[in-house]
Amino acid sequence: MASIRKGDTVEVIAGKDKGVTGKVLDISKRDSRVVVEGANRVKRHTKEDTTERGVKVGGIITIESPIHISNVMLVGDDGKRTRLGARKNDEGKNVRISRRTGKDV
C-alpha cells in the first residue's frame, strides 16, 4: 500500500540525475519504473509527421525516460526525502504516512 503514486513529488537518489526533484508523470507497476518530470531526459530522432491539428512535428525531441522506482524517494511537505509507511485512519481506510515526521502524506 505504501508506495509512490502518480502526481507525487520525488527526488532521484541514484544515477546520472541524482538530486533532481520532479513530479511523477507515469508509473509502470509491471516493470517497477516511474517517469519523473525533468529526470532521465533522452533525445529521440523522430520522422516529420502530421498531427491531428495539421502541424508538422519532427526532428530531435527531448523526452523523459522511465527510471527504476528504487532510485527515487518521496519528498515530504518540509522538502526533505522521506520513506513511506501506512496506517489506518479513524474511518478504517489505509493512509500513507511519512516515516520522518509521522504525518499523513
Give the mean model confidence (pLDDT) for residues 30-37.
96
Is 26 among the domain residues? yes
| Share above pLDDT 90 across residues of the chain, in percent, rounded to a whole number | 76
User: Would 96 be classed as within a structural domain?
Assistant: no
What's the domain count of the chain?
Answer: 1
Is 81's pLDDT higher than 80?
A: yes
**CATH code where residue 13 lies:** 2.30.30.30
Whether 66 and 53 have beta carbons less than 8 Å apart is answered as: no
The answer to whether position 85 is within a domain reads no
51: confidence class by pLDDT, cuts 50, 70, 90: low
* Domain membership flag for residue 29: yes
Q: Is the pLDDT of residue 105 over 90?
A: no
Q: State which residues form the domain around 58.
A: 9-79
User: Other CB atoms closer than 10 Å to residue 85's CB: what's the count?
Assistant: 15
Residue 4 backbone dihedrals phi, psi, to 5 degrees = -75, 140
The answer to the question of residue 47 being in a domain is: yes
